């Protein structure tokens, strides 16, 4: 069959139409559909971005509102104590009376109670305090109570006028506490709750750590404390432990073996947290003492004090040196030292090391100042930051604290013990000359 010229043209036209249809239907239309889908997706994502930007704006507003409310909450809760532990209140009252001559013989605590103040339920405890002293002493004490950062209510005062311009009487103070609201709970006192405290809570804490004086040279710092030193030793104590050093003509005496837990923690500032525990990782003997501290944040001055409680290391005469075994888990730029109190009531800051440059056990050894008047007691071991950028925490193990005496000087006497406690007898006056 032979196609005419016209039929050929029609077939060519039909083929072009089929090709055009296939191109449009199978190539252009899918692309247009994808393009529409992309446009829809872009529109949806733009909508999501707009919602996220709005959410971020709302979040910033909420954050601002939260911080504003948090400041109000902290301002409100900062007026109250976070804990009403009697040991903390005893130390607070001791702190309030330190620079006055008001004599307080005892502190009597009431039962814990709950009261509602401005719609908030708070805990309350009252203390009854009998006192003796002058009128000016009482006014100074009340002034310090009113200036305390935490709310203390002077509920009642009874005063009796005695002879020679002296007064006596009693006063009642109310303490209030609320748990920290919206903030991290920190210890507002100076003793960690884990510690073993004095069995008699009304016995004065010997060697209570005064706050470090500002703008003093840390290496030569001397505490200001007018308390008199109790020159006494234990009746029930055992013989001193002497160790002959073959390399030197000296005898080493163990002042404190850290075999028992008779220490408590004092932070400066008081918000610093710390703990003291017995540990089996010892250098000598059976146990060592593990001390931990957390400065919580960086400050110009952070000091963790680990204070000897009932039994304090006791030095009779001038030694050749004093040493302390310290186990460090890591290096840091914290300094470590001792605080000594001599028979004149003067306190000395003795630096053992100006940085923690070792790990594991190391024996720190230092000569004591010649100005110390003996007998003397070691009040505490302290750790202090060197700079504001120093790390904020640390862990150490403490073991044998020793002093070394020259043989020609050391055996002129027979001391019964190098530790003082609550059972006292007077020291031989020949040792004080």
pLDDT tens digits along 45-88: 988 998 888 888 888 888 888 888 777 777 767 777 877 888 78
Give the pLDDT score at 65: 84
Instruction: Pick the last residue of a domain from 115, 150, 177.
Output: 177
The answer to whether residue 357 sits within a structural domain is: yes
The answer to whether residue 20 sits within a structural domain is: no
Does pLDDT of 227 surpass 70? no
Report how far apart, in Å, the C-alpha atoms of 103 and of each of 56, 131, 134, 167, 197 are: 61, 5, 10, 11, 23
The answer to whether residue 198 sits within a structural domain is: no
- Tally the domains of the chain: 3
> Cis before residue 2, ω within 30 degrees of 0?
no
331 and 271 in a common domain: yes
Does pLDDT of 209 surpass 50? no
Q: Which residue has the tokens 């009376």?
A: 97
293 and 239 in a common domain: yes
291 and 427 in a common domain: yes
Q: What's the whole-number mean pLDDT along residues 357-381?
A: 91
**Distance in angstroms (rounded) separating the CA atoms of residues 382 and 353:** 11
285 and 250 in a common domain: yes
What is the C-alpha radius of gyration for the chain, rounded to an integer number of angstroms?
37
Does pLDDT of 9 surpass 80? yes
Mean pLDDT is lowest, of 53-67, 126-140, 377-391, 419-433, for 419-433
The answer to whether residue 392 sits within a structural domain is: yes
Which residue range(s) make up the domain with 360? 218-431
CA nearest 77: which of 229, 153, 159, 184?
Answer: 184
The answer to whether residue 2 sits within a structural domain is: no
Instruction: Pick the last residue of a domain from 18, 46, 77.
Output: 77
Instruction: Pick the last residue of a domain from 21, 48, 77.
Output: 77
Give the pLDDT score at 7: 83
Give the pLDDT score at 355: 92
The answer to whether residue 193 sits within a structural domain is: no
The answer to whether residue 186 sits within a structural domain is: no
Give the pLDDT score at 140: 87
Does pLDDT of 419 surpass 60? no
CATH classification of the domain holding 315:
2.60.120.260
**For all residues of the chain together, what is the average pLDDT?**
76
Give the pLDDT score at 214: 39
Give the pLDDT score at 249: 66
Global confidence as pTM? 0.43
Contact 359, 297 (CB under 8 A): no
Mean pLDDT is lowest, of 11-20, 201-210, 320-329, for 201-210
């Amino acid at each position: 069959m032979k196609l005419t010229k016209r039929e050929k043209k029609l077939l060519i036209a039909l083929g072009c139409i089929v090709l055009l249809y296939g191109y449009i239907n199978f190539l252009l239309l899918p692309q247009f559909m994808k393009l529409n889908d992309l446009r829809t997706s872009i529109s949806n994502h733009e909508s999501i971005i707009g919602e996220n930007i709005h959410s971020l704006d709302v979040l910033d507003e909420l954050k601002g509102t939260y911080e504003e409310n948090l400041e109000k909450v902290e301002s409100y809760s900062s007026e109250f104590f976070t804990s009403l532990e009697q040991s903390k209140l005893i130390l607070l009252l001791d702190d309030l009376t330190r620079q006055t001559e008001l004599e307080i013989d005892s502190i009597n605590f009431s039962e814990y109670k709950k009261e509602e103040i401005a719609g908030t339920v708070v805990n309350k405890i009252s203390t009854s305090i009998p006192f003796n002293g002058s009128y000016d002493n009482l006014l100074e004490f009340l002034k310090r109570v009113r200036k305390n950062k935490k709310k203390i209510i002077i509920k009642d005062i009874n005063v009796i006028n005695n002879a020679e311009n002296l007064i006596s009487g009693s006063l009642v103070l109310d303490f209030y506490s609320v748990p920290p609201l919206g903030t991290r709970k920190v210890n507002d006192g100076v003793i960690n709750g884990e510690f073993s405290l004095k069995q008699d809570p009304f016995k004065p804490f010997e060697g209570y750590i005064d706050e470090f004086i500002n703008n003093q040279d840390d290496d030569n710092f001397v505490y200001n404390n007018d308390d008199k030193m109790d020159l006494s030793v234990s009746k029930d104590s055992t013989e001193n432990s002497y160790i002959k050093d073959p390399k030197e003509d000296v005898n080493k005496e163990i002042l404190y073996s850290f075999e028992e837990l008779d220490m408590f923690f004092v932070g400066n500032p008081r918000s610093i947290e710390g703990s003291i525990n017995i540990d089996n990782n010892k250098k000598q003997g059976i146990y060592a003492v593990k001390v931990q501290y957390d400065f919580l944040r960086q400050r110009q001055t952070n000091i963790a004090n680990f204070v000897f409680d009932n039994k304090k290391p006791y030095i009779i005469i001038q030694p050749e040196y004093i040493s302390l075994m310290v186990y460090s888990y890591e290096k840091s730029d914290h300094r470590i030292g001792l605080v000594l109190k001599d028979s004149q009531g003067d306190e000395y800051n003795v630096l053992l090391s100006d940085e923690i440059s070792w790990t594991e056990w190391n024996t720190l050894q230092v000569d004591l100042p010649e100005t110390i008047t003996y007998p003397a007691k070691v009040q505490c071991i302290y750790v202090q930051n060197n700079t504001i950028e120093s790390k904020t925490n640390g862990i150490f193990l403490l073991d044998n604290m020793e002093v070394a005496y020259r043989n020609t000087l050391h055996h002129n006497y027979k001391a019964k013990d190098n530790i003082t406690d609550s059972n006292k007898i007077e020291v031989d006056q020949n040792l004080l000359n």
